[in-house]
Amino acid sequence: MNSTGKEKKEKTATGKILSVEGDLRKTIKGLLKKLLKNNTLDAVLVPMKAPETESYAWVLLEDETLLDAADPLPPVMTVQGGRALDSITKQGDVYLKIGALMRPCEIRAAVELYKLNQVKLEHIHLISIDCPGALPLKEYMDNPIKSKENFEKIVQKGDKNEALRPVCQICQHFSLLSSPSTEETKASSSPDTENHSAADLHIGFFGGNGKKLCLTASTSKGKDLLEKLELSQDDSLEYWKAAGEKIRQSALKNRESFNKEWQEKIGGIENFTTALDACINCHNCMRVCPVCYCQQCYFDSKILENSPETYLQRAQERGSLRFPLDTLLFHLGRMSHMVLSCVSCGACEDACPMSVPVSQIFSMVGDQTQKSFQYVPGTDRNVPLPLQSFLKDEFCEVEIPCECDQSLLGKA
């Protein structure tokens, strides 16, 4: 468990308020263009609709004119941004200054990968944006035009509605200031949050009624970006903070009932097995998950392959043998590896061909497990992963007896 014993103080939100020029997306792209043009950034990583299709991809570009085709607020998450960043920096640090514009859950995944030494952030400027959520990929692909119209209404209103993916309806980390409450982070925030928060710069538009947006920097890299844009950070952003807090409270309420519902649905081995019954063991959920970090996956290895005789023997012992094998083992194994870092992004569920509610299950289990460690994945770069650090006095209740609980020693 990570413990500093220091609580975060409620800070007054300040930043720069800008008028929206034309539309929100255009204004955001204008800022990125300026950063490319004045050589503050060498390249940007942004989502873009693939030409001639309705799908979206991540694009790394240096030419600011190409930004016209980018979409900072795509209606779907086809590829998790943390994974895109991982592809760029996996083999080593990049020496170009790259600005990566991503949703908060994508930034959080990138930060988790950074802690695992799988994303290098030295030259990356993480720019997060208020996230209206994302639509379920399958529903979007069935009717992209109608889905986009619906999504625009969600962006304009800034409220989470039932058209969004289930994990987006319960997401409380959709903005910078909506990130962890004091209670959540009292044990998992570094004493000095400067240079350690998730994003370097955040773009907020909630509460601005489509007429204004705000920029707020939380690290020296972010402040540098603001300086190069010739923007100060003196405006009060209390209007934005209040709008975000309203959405956050509603998301927290949704999350509470969601967790309760899923605890009942998957409680006990039978229910858990039933919830995963439709799984065909294709491993798509694992491949798209940004924080499924093992370089060599045990479940893709030959260790699980057996001889025909072994399968026949197992079939005889049990009466019959269901294929594909070991689906439960796969989910439990994956869960035990990465659930502390699960950022509840929904990418796994979008990728599932069998509509298994895999991200809802992982989000609920992640939430509970992360609470045990008072760990909020991806919100502070300086807080080590719970299983990378060891404190003598943690979880003493599961050791019998231990020196940190003298009362147990007396009873033993």
* 133 binds ligand SF4 per the rule CB under 6 A: yes
By CB under 6 A, residue 104 contacts ligand SF4:
yes
Q: Which is nearer to ligand SF4, 254 or 281 (CB)?
A: 281
DSSP 212: E
Report the alpha-carbon distance of residue 154 to residue 134 in Å, rounded.
10
Amino acid at residue number 363: S
Would you call 169 exposed, middle or buried from its count of C-beta atoms within 10 A (0-12, 13-18, 19+)?
Answer: middle
Position 113 contacts ligand SF4 (CB under 6 A): no
Shortest gap between Cβ of 96 and ligand SF4 (angstroms)?
Answer: 26
Check if the beta carbon of residue 86 is closer than 8 Å to that of residue 119.
yes
Q: What is the DSSP string of 344-378?
A: ---HHHHH-TT---HHHHHHHHHHHHHHHTT--TT
**Residue 40: CB minimum distance to ligand SF4, A:** 26
Q: Whole-angstrom Cα distance, residue 20 to residue 205?
A: 9
DSSP 272-296: HHHHTTT-----HHHHH-TT---SS
Please identify which residue in 129, 163, 199, 348 interacts with ligand SF4, judged by CB under 6 A.
Answer: 348
Residue from the set 34, 123, 228, 283 that interacts with ligand SF4 by CB under 6 A = 283
- Per CB under 6 A, the list member of 362, 374, 375, 381 interacting with ligand SF4 is 362
Does 140 contact ligand SF4 by CB under 6 A?
no
Q: Which of 76, 105, 110, 121 binds ligand SF4 (CB under 6 A)?
A: 105
Q: Specify the pairing of strand 14-19 against strand 201-204.
A: unpaired
At its nearest, how many Å lie between ligand SF4 and the CB of residue 152?
A: 16
**Contact pick of 57, 304, 321, 354 for ligand SF4 (by CB under 6 A):** 354
Quick check: 163 binds ligand SF4 (CB under 6 A)?
no
| 289 belongs to the binding site for ligand SF4 (CB under 6 A) | yes
Tokens of 138: 């399958």
Name the 3-class secondary structure at 98: strand
Residue 167 interacting with ligand SF4 (CB under 6 A): yes
What is the residue whose two structure tokens read 């255009």?
Answer: 26
Asked whether position 284 contacts ligand SF4 by CB under 6 A, the answer is yes
Residues whose CB is less than 8 angstroms from the CB of residue 354 and which lie 6 or more positions away in sequence, other chains included: 278, 279, 280
Question: Nearest CA to 119 among 142, 100, 147, 135?
Answer: 100
Annotate each residue in 180-219 with x if it binds ligand SF4 (CB under 6 A) or - if it does not, as one string: ----------------------------------------
Q: For the segment 382-401, give every residue that binds ligand SF4 (CB under 6 A).
A: none
* Lookup result for tokens 């263009």: 33
* Residue entry with tokens 């020196």: 403
Asked if residue 154 binds ligand SF4 (CB under 6 A), the reply is no
Helix (H, G, I), strand (E, B) or coil at 388: helix
Stretch that binds ligand SF4, among 28-36, 44-52, 186-194, 278-286 (CB under 6 A): 278-286
Residue with tokens 């039932």: 162
Shortest Å distance, C-beta 104 to ligand SF4: 4
Give the side-chain half-sphere CA count within 13 A for 304. 14
Say whether residue 110 binds ligand SF4 (CB under 6 A): no
Binder to ligand SF4 among 347, 364, 365, 376 (CB under 6 A)? 347
Residue 248 lies near ligand SF4 (rule: CB under 6 A): no
* Residue 176 vs 342, nearer CB to ligand SF4: 342
Residues sharing a CB contact under 8 Å with residue 310, sequence separation 6 or more, in sequence order: none
Q: Is 369 in the site for ligand SF4 (CB under 6 A)?
A: no
Comparing CB distances to ligand SF4, the nearer of 187 and 338 is 338
The residue from 218, 259, 359, 374 that contacts ligand SF4 (CB under 6 A) is: 359
C-beta separation of 175 from 104 below 8 A: yes
Q: In whole angstroms, what separates CA 24 from the centre of its chain? A: 23
Comparing CB distances to ligand SF4, the nearer of 27 and 327 is 327
Residue count at the site for ligand SF4 (CB under 6 A)? 37
**Which residues of this protein are in contact with ligand SF4, per CB under 6 A?**
77, 103-105, 131, 133-134, 167-168, 171, 174, 279-285, 289-291, 342-348, 351-354, 356, 358-359, 362-363
